Structure 1
């Protein structure tokens, strides 16, 4: 007899079709939202990091959440956007100066190599020979390294485009975070109801708590590391007598938040100081920069683990693995996935223990 006409078989087929339709809708939703993952990541970082401060602002303003959100968005955008815009404009001016210097060198030849550069230990001889070769036959030298020069220029252009794109995402993320903060608990209610409906009240609450702790840990860890790195960098730049030290520190804060790191600022600054004939300060900046890199690498996982209130190894594996798999947004994806798995595994073990105790 044909079993497909039975009600049970029809119900199973309908359930499978509904699940396939739901899966197709989820894949389509992922394709639509994929472009906004960067913006949503920044929005999560800022809304979680500034949640306590925002609630205090709301109390100071007599419960007017929209006014507090507007002031918050303007203040944060001004603090971050203005220094970054200023530094990008300054870098563009210096880039035009570098292009002018290259054109002048092509027409009139390279100037003599500074004595301090020629007398540098270990590398002074190599610098002198390359400089001499560029003075004698610059075209031959460029022809021999044409592919490397082209690769370097492409990398500089792609890095610049990436930084500009990240800056735009960050600014939009600040605006979106203001909407998250205005909504407050209302934004979380549908998610909480859905998870508790699927997993039960206790397991759903535990899962949401683990996800919240993972997001909070990564957010506060990233912002705290960026803030401390920027402060330490500002102190070092001030000691070295670098102009625009505060603006450069703000740029370093931005670069650490988007996980590029301070090297993209520190290395050109060190080279610039070296070309000004300050070998002692150059060595200081090199050592100080290495210290900043080591401190950032150590501080970030510690802050993430302490803020997330989950085992250090759980969040550390999630963050590092997520960054390796998905880049910047992977910090949150990896931390959430590992935290959720850890919570489910613990819940399963607790059920096993209670079942054994009942026997």
Structure 2
């Protein structure tokens, strides 16, 4: 027995204080680093999402421009400014400029009274019955319900406009996004290689696969959700402006948020169509109706084609990411929230599918447990 112990040699002594202080020092360094870069985190995350989603476009531009990376980066930066930063900035500025009447409308008690709907009497056969039923509903407590709901709606509108009113913060994040995007475009391969190397050091091949899955999820959200929402809201806003709907810019913002949340643009377009017919403008009402049919069905064709380029994701995940991101990070959270949830979902899903699927018959599992 002693001979076996001597062959194995003396057991190394564990220096527990050294391990504890070393771990504490590493934790302090990590927290300090995050504290220093905290103002740049949102801008870098935004830039990373854009660069990952548009990287194939950069490579095609580089091929067209004689292999010059700096030329393709310059074109991409101009495209980001013209197609992304300027339109969103104009929308937010317009939203703030028109916030006073919106707040007054949302906070006014008279704006939330149920309409009389006297035009129901003009409907043949059933008009008078519909009118009397509607007024019975109003007298039975409909107006009281609207009076109770109105303050909460006013608070929600006030909070939303307050989020958009942080123009200085938004412009700072836009500037950081452009700066980080230029750096990532110019050194994208080296950054990707460094991240994959760190992931391999952290979790071997599984870490490398996790990084690739994360990139696919980001591309899926950016292409399949954000691009579709931008296309639908811009086309819908053009239709509203052409048909003479007042506040078309504000309605475009609402439409963009609805499209991001997977609710579709028809929540804004249908009331506009009803309003045009109500005011007697049947010509433009019919034009907007046809245009709305085109815009409303775009996501059925455009979104699946774009999502296939990245990864298929549950729509409830995108909805939760949009709402949660808006509450957590403000306007930028509309883009970052779905990405965070999508990446986490793909990684957890891949980790779960590494294990075999459970038996389809629960009774058989229970019987095996009883035998044990």
Instruction: Provide the TM-score with structure 1 as the length reference.
Output: 0.62
2:227 aligns with one of 224, 227, 241 = 224
Structure 1 pair 117–63 and aligned structure 2 pair: CA distance change class (3 A)? farther
Q: 1:98 to 1:236 in 2, by over 3 A?
A: closer
| Runs of at least 5 residues in structure 2 that lack an aligned partner in the other structure | 1-10, 111-115, 137-142, 326-333, 357-372
Q: Secondary structure, in 3 states, of the residue corresponding to 2:156? A: helix
Equivalent position of 1:133 in the other structure: none
Tell me by how many angstroms 1:215 deviates: 1.9
**What residue in structure 2 maps to residue 214 of structure 1?**
217
Tell whether the 8 Å contact from 1:57 to 1:68 is kept in structure 2 after alignment.
Answer: yes
Change (3 A) 1:219 1:92: closer
When residues 346 and 115 of structure 1 are mapped into structure 2, their CA distance, relative to the original with a 3 A threshold, is closer
Instruction: State the distance in 2 between where 1:61 and 1:223 align.
Output: 28
Q: 2:194 aligns with which of 167, 186, 190?
A: 190
Specify whether residues 45 and 55 from structure 1 end up closer, same or farther in structure 2 by C-alpha distance, changes over 3 A only: same
Give the 3 Å change call, closer, same or farther, for CA 31–298 of structure 1 in structure 2: farther
Which whole-Å CA distance do the structure 2 matches of 1:146 and 1:303 have between them?
Answer: 45
Alignment partner, residue 233 of structure 1: 236
1:239-292: per-residue Cα shift (whole Å, max 9, x none)?
x72469997897578546865975786477457646744478669868986996
Higher relative contact order (CA 8 A, sep 6+): 1
Residue 162 of structure 1, CA deviation: 2.4
Q: Distance in 2 between matches of 1:16 and 1:270?
A: 67
- Answer yes or no: is the 8 Å Cα contact 1:84–1:247 preserved in 2: no
What corresponds to 1:65 in structure 2?
69
Match of 1:353 in 2: none
Instruction: Label 1:54 to 1:246 Cα distance change in 2 as closer, same or farther (>3 A).
Output: farther
1:331 and 2:335 equivalent?
no
Tell me, what secondary structure is at the counterpart of 2:233? helix
- Cα distance change, pair 149–74 in 1 and its aligned pair in 2 (3 A): same
Equivalent residue number for residue 157 of structure 1: 158
Could you give the per-residue CA deviations for residues 53-94 of structure 1, whole angstroms, max 9, x where no partner exists? 222333444444344334422332222344445555655666
Among 288, 297, 309, the residue aligned to 1:307: 309
8 A Cα contact 1:217 1:303, kept in partner: no
Equivalent residue for 1:316? 314
Secondary structure, counterpart of 1:341 in structure 2: helix
Deviation at 1:189, TM superposition (A): 2.5
Where 2:47 maps in the other structure, the secondary structure is: helix
Conserved 8 A contact 2:103-2:158: no
Question: What aligned pairs does 1:149-298 form with structure 2 within 5 A after superposition?
Answer: 149-165=150-166, 168=170, 171-172=174-175, 174-175=177-178, 176-200=180-204, 202-230=205-233, 233=236, 237=240, 241-242=243-244, 251=253, 255=257, 259=261, 262=265, 266=269, 269=272, 273=276, 276-278=279-281, 296=299
The 5-angstrom pairing of residues 26-41 of structure 1 reads: 26-27=30-31, 38-41=42-45
Do the aligned partners of 1:322 and 1:333 also contact (CA within 8 Å) in 2? no
Structure 1 range deviating more: 333-342 or 167-176: 167-176
Task: Identify if the C-alpha distance between structure 1 residues 278 and 221 changes in structure 2 by more than 3 Å, giving closer, same or farther.
Answer: same
Counterpart Cα distance in 1 of 2:40 and 2:259: 17
